[in-house]
Amino acid sequence: MKTVSLQGTQLSASERRRLDLQRRYKATPNPNLMQMVDDACAVADKLREEGKQGENPNKFRHDTTSRGTPYVGDLFGY
């Protein structure tokens, strides 16, 4: 965890309040986000056990060797 030393600095009331809020929010993880991460990990583990791949791994990779206009349908799997 990143530690911040404020020795020798003066903070305004709003800066102290903002820093306090940041510390409080970082200390408690978001349960909705944690649930989404757990679900995604479970799906990835299931696909790995079945020997399948998830989405197209090249979906967002930019091909620098091709020339011309890219086909937008590739992005959506058409």
Q: For the chain, what's the residue count?
A: 78
Tens of pLDDT, residues 29-48: 788 888 998 998 898 888 88
Report the percent of the chain where pLDDT is more than 70: 76
Greatest alpha-carbon span in the chain? 60
The answer to whether residues 77 and 70 touch, using CB atoms and an 8 Å cutoff, is no
- Indicate whether 22 pLDDT > 80: yes
Q: Tell me what the pLDDT averaged over the chain comes to.
A: 79
52 φ, ψ (degrees, to nearest 5): -100, 165
Domain ranges of the chain: 16-52
Question: What SS3 state is found at 10?
Answer: coil
pTM of the model: 0.40
For 51-63, the pLDDT digits (tens) are 877 666 666 676 6
